[in-house]
Amino acid sequence: MRKVALITGITGQDGSYLSELLLERDYEVHGVVRRASVFTTERIDHLYQDRHEPEVRFHLHYGDLLEPTSLRRIIGEVQPDEVYNLAAQSHVRTSFEQPVYTAQVVAIGTLHLLEAVCDYQRSSGRQVRFYQASSSEMYGKVLEIPQNELTPFYPRSPYACAKVQAYWQTINYREAYGLFACNGILFNHESPRRGETFVTRKITRAATRIKLGLQDTLYLGNLDARRDWGFAGDYVEAMWLMLQQPEPADFLIATGRCHSVRDFLTTAFRCLDLNWRDYVKFDARYLRPTEVDLLQGDASKAREVLGWEPKVMMPELCRMMIDADMSLAQRERTLVDAGHAVLVPSA
Ligand code: NAP
Ligand code: GDD
């Protein structure tokens, strides 16, 4: 029997890579999409199938983590074997501007989904496996280096506090109701599909635009922050592996290496034979009221139990993002040379 997966956050970076992985493994994939006034499906457009095709394995449903009835309706229709909860207001800086909304989506939204999954399990008698997108951000003001699954949390943002609640709700549904539920504690993972307001993509986008004369300055905040950056394509494989185990458990996913924002800047600009110091200026708007200074994960458990290992490390990841953004910048350059105005990304 073909397995059925339901993904919340399917239009996001991870949702797109996970969809590709599951389709390659012959799943039927369903995704929850929020209605917006513009199309938000750019990252998954290449997976779209006309519903009149003979064998459609990729489906989208309108819904929202904040609307429990939509989640129940979708789960009832889709009858999933696996549910991946990737939806979130995932920007840490933004969570200081919108703390209540962030908590509602990240914490209460997860609770809505857990309730809907459990009720469906009870009424249908079918087992559902549940993945929760937990985050290294929960370690916050880190109490040990490197962090592992036993390191205590010390969240430093509304986003991280909400993720801690969702993490414990997931464990509680496992222990209270026997739900096959796993937390993946994923460290920062990036790709050419990364949102343009996260620091790595902001840097690769700006560096390539600077190289082609489309931009002259890049404004950034704290360059001393250190992160353990991996490739999103590698990390979605770990999500899938967690749900294929005989028993549910929580796993930390990281490369084990950490670099500063300054290191990433140096690597990115060097790919283009540029010196970032000639273009980068400080803007206090990008500082956070409370910062996470250093994240570095020890993924030994994932290596031993799941057989998972990262394949792409920061320098190759940075090069991959620069190459993809250079293609984008070249298209913009062509438009500008033909007399068209292009939107300058900010944030
Ligand atoms: P992302 O690119 O920001 O995608 C977030 C997704 O959530 C988008 O599809 C978004 O839809 C959707 N969403 C937001 N609010 C929603 C709501 N109320 N109802 C339904 N969908 C909603 O994030 P990502 O980088 O792919 O990360 C995936 C998950 O992993 C997130 O939960 C994130 O917090 C977590 N995480 C990420 C990292 C990382 O480094 N990337 C690390 C650890 C954990 P729209 O397209 O409509 O906005
Ligand atoms: N976004 C951004 N923009 N960050 C900047 C900037 C800037 O202009 N300048 C410096 N930084 C620093 C931030 O202060 C932070 O220390 C670091 O760069 C990384 O910021 P982000 O790329 O925004 O990611 P994040 O680490 O805050 O959060 C991401 O990773 C988490 C996992 O640890 C997000 O993907 C979260 O959703 C995820 O949970």
Q: Is the CB of 158 under 6 A from ligand 1?
A: no
> In the chain, which segments carry CATH 3.90.25.10?
199-225+258-293+314-337
Q: How far is residue 171's CA from residue 201's CA, in Å, rounded to a whole number?
A: 33
- Concerning whether 291 is annotated as a catalytic residue, the answer is no
pLDDT tens digit at each of 347 positions of the chain: 999 999 999 999 999 999 999 999 999 999 999 999 999 999 999 999 888 888 999 999 999 999 999 999 999 999 999 999 999 999 999 999 999 999 999 999 999 999 999 999 999 999 999 999 999 999 999 989 999 999 999 999 999 999 999 999 999 999 999 999 999 999 999 999 999 999 999 999 999 999 999 999 999 999 999 999 999 999 999 999 999 999 999 999 999 999 999 999 999 999 999 999 999 999 999 999 999 999 999 999 999 999 999 999 999 999 999 999 999 999 999 999 999 987 665 55
Q: Is 24 a catalytic residue?
A: no
Query: What pLDDT does 200 receive?
Result: 99
Q: How far is Cα 308 from Cα 305, in angstroms, rounded to an integer? A: 8
| Cβ partners under 8 Å of residue 14, min gap 6 | 86, 133, 189, 232, 235, 236, 239
Under CATH, domain 199-225+258-293+314-337 is a member of which superfamily? UDP-galactose 4-epimerase, domain 1 (3.90.25.10)
Q: Is the CB of 65 under 6 A from ligand 1?
A: yes
Residues of the chain with CATH 3.40.50.720: 4-192+229-253
pLDDT value for 345: 58
- Given the structure tokens 């600077």, which residue do they identify? 210
Question: CB of 188 closer than 6 A to ligand 1?
Answer: yes
Q: Which atom, in ligand 2's list, is nearest to the CA of 163? A: 39
Can you give the pLDDT at residue 346?
56
Q: What are phi and psi of 151, to 5 degrees?
A: -65, 130
Q: Residues 6 or more apart from 37 whose CB is under 8 A from it?
A: none
Give pLDDT tens digits for 62-82: 999 999 999 999 999 999 999
Mutate which of 89, 91, 92 to test ligand 2's pocket (most atoms within 8 Å of Cβ)?
A: 92
Ligand 1 atom closest to Cα of residue 232: 41
Ligand nearest to the CA of 84: 1
**Cβ-contact 154, 107 below 8 angstroms:** no
Helix (H, G, I), strand (E, B) or coil at 215: coil
CA distances (Å), 44 to each of 19, 59, 236, 271, in order? 8, 11, 15, 28
Does the C-beta of 13 come closer than 6 Å to ligand 1?
yes
d(CA 338, CA 12): 32
Fold of 4-192+229-253: Rossmann fold (3.40.50)
pLDDT for res 342:
78
- Residues framing ligand 2 (Cβ under 6 A): 90, 92-93, 135-137, 187-188, 197-199, 202, 220-222, 225, 227, 261, 286, 288, 291-292, 295
Q: What is the pLDDT of residue 201?
A: 98
pLDDT at site 53:
86
The total number of residues written for the chain in this structure: 347
341 alpha carbon to ligand 1 midpoint, in Å?
Answer: 30
| pLDDT value of position 139 | 98
Q: What is the pLDDT of residue 15?
A: 99
pLDDT confidence of residue 347: 52
